[in-house]
Amino acid sequence: MRFGVTVFLSDRSIGPAEAAREAEARGFTSMYVPEHTHIPVSRRTPAPMGEPLPEYYWHTLDPFVALTAAATATERLRLGTAVLLVAQRDPIVTAKEVATLDLLSGGRVTLGVGFGWNRDEIEHHGLDFKRRRDVAREKILAMQRLWADDEASFDGELVSFEPSWAWPKPVQQPWPPIFMGGAGGPKLFAAVAEYADGWMPIGGRGIKAALPELRRAYEQFGRDPDTVQVKPLGSMPDPGKVEYFASLGVRETVLGLSHGPRDVVLEEMDRFAKIVEPFFDG
């Protein structure tokens, strides 16, 4: 199995270049970073992972700037978002950022995308929280056209642009792999089956029970259910869990590192690498 890491990078944490370089040196195959543009002080939306919300949520680095720094410090490490809050972003600008990073890194980008949980944050971007899934869907479909087509256009309800030239194109064609983050269910699995390459569940609990429903969604969209990919995110390194994931056909597990300064993060990387090393397949 392959192993990646995910880590909150902030103005108070280990730097992205060093984190990426050290992850690659220890045999990890990917590094994923999250996104929050800001956290409204009102805090009207309780954190789904429990309160209090850690302060580093509003100190988070921009994912594409951080991953560009990571790209310059590495040669093989895949560079991922987990998760990118697509509904809050301009699709034309974001498509160019993704394509540029993929070009400059030699085709190493993986996009983990999500719909977002923070109503306040989403509304500050001028979005209706209840329609964030619809907005994200159209923005992803529009970006796929910008990545794949020489003359790209899109005519949706929420996103629209006339035929346009937009370069660079990503090295990975027609576009970099896209994984949908979030809890399993009919709405999420329909999104995965329609316009993504796989599911990125947080932690990995309930994957076995959910897989039949995800496979059915693939069939409904005319896709081969045997191509389903699942990439557990933020998992802890436990041999029993790794063996369980492997039995389900999981090919990569993304381990959750603590937010912290250099010494804290590197000590944890060392410990995690030692635990999962017997399961590495490169």
Residue range 67-81: average pLDDT? 98
CA pair distance 110, 95, nearest whole angstrom:
13
Q: For residue 4, what pLDDT is reported?
A: 98
Percent of the chain whose predicted confidence (pLDDT) is above 90: 97
Could you report the per-residue pLDDT of 144-172, keeping only the tens digit for each? 999 999 999 999 999 999 999 999 999 99
Residue 134 has pLDDT above 70, yes or no: yes
Q: Topology of 2-279 in CATH?
A: TIM Barrel (3.20.20)
Q: For residue 49, what pLDDT is reported?
A: 87
Q: Where are the domains of the chain?
A: 2-279
Could you report the per-residue pLDDT of 221-252, keeping only the tens digit for each? 999 999 999 999 999 999 999 999 999 999 99
Percent of the chain whose predicted confidence (pLDDT) is above 70: 100
Q: For residue 188, what pLDDT is reported?
A: 97
Residue 282 has pLDDT above 80, yes or no: no
Which amino acid does the sequence have at 267? Answer: E
Residue range 205-227: average pLDDT? 96
Residue 205 has pLDDT above 90, yes or no: no
- Give me 237's structure tokens: 């390194």
Q: For residue 204, what pLDDT is reported?
A: 82
Could you report the per-residue pLDDT of 87-128, keeping only the tens digit for each? 999 999 999 999 999 999 999 999 999 999 999 999 999 999
Q: For residue 26, what pLDDT is reported?
A: 98
Could you report the per-residue pLDDT of 4-56, keeping only the tens digit for each? 999 999 999 999 999 999 999 999 999 999 999 999 999 999 999 899 999 99
- Work out whether the CA dihedral 101, 138, 181, 52 comes out positive or negative: positive
Place of tokens 């302060």: 55
Q: For residue 7, what pLDDT is reported?
A: 98
